[in-house]
Amino acid sequence: MHIQKIVENLKRKYGTNNPFELAKCLNIIILHEELGEIKGYYNKFARQKFIHLNNNLREDELYFTCGHELGHALMHPNSNTPALRSNTLYSINRLEMEANQFSVDLIIDDKKIKEFLEYNFYTLDNISNVLCIDKNIIEFKIKRMYKNKFI
């Protein structure tokens, strides 16, 4: 199933795009830990799914990372994926790219981005500040939208 359809079905079924709320609804345990340079990782042990998040992340990093690991939990449930490290947003690894796409589609609404893009005076920095989302993630979303012809 296409990643955006998975995300839309989740948002419709549970009425939220908050990755923390979705994890709770899906009985996925979230653990906040000291992980050094690692932002987070997903694993499954004894049929229980876990999302591990670095307790030193900013709020915007937490949302993206939780969404990324939720993507692994739902799309790659039996793969204990490598940890999400700094600057993996443009990872060439298929599983990592799918998890990035899942997180971006989950936390950033296409309609909101389209509204900003209609007004040419909005920069990536402006959009980032308004949405409280890292500008690299906003840029990733916009590139995905153009690639998929959503604009």
58, 130, 65: which is closest to 103 by C-alpha?
65
Q: What is the DSSP string of the chain?
A: --HHHHHHHHHHHHS---HHHHHHHTT-EEEEE--TTEEEEEEEETTEEEEEEETT--HHHHHHHHHHHHHHHHHSTT--PPPEETT-TT--SHHHHHHHHHHHHHHS-HHHHHHHHHSTT--HHHHHHHHT--HHHHHHHHHHHHHTT--
Residue 121 reports pLDDT greater than 80: no
C-alpha neighbours within 13 Å on the C-beta side of residue 3: 23
Mean pLDDT of 139-147: 81
Domain borders along the chain are 3-107, 109-151
Mean pLDDT of 64-79: 92
Mean pLDDT of 5-11: 95
Mean pLDDT of 52-75: 93
Mean pLDDT of 107-114: 85
Mean pLDDT of 64-92: 73
Phi/psi region, residue 33 (left: phi>0; alpha: psi -120 to 50; beta: rest), is beta
More confident residue, 30 or 118: 30
Q: pLDDT value at position 83?
A: 45
Q: pLDDT value at position 110?
A: 83
Residue 91 reports pLDDT greater than 50: no
If one looks up domain 3-107 in CATH, what number appears?
1.10.10.2910
Average confidence score pLDDT of the chain: 85
Residue 148: which pLDDT band, with cuts at 50, 70 and 90?
low
Residue 92 reports pLDDT greater than 70: no
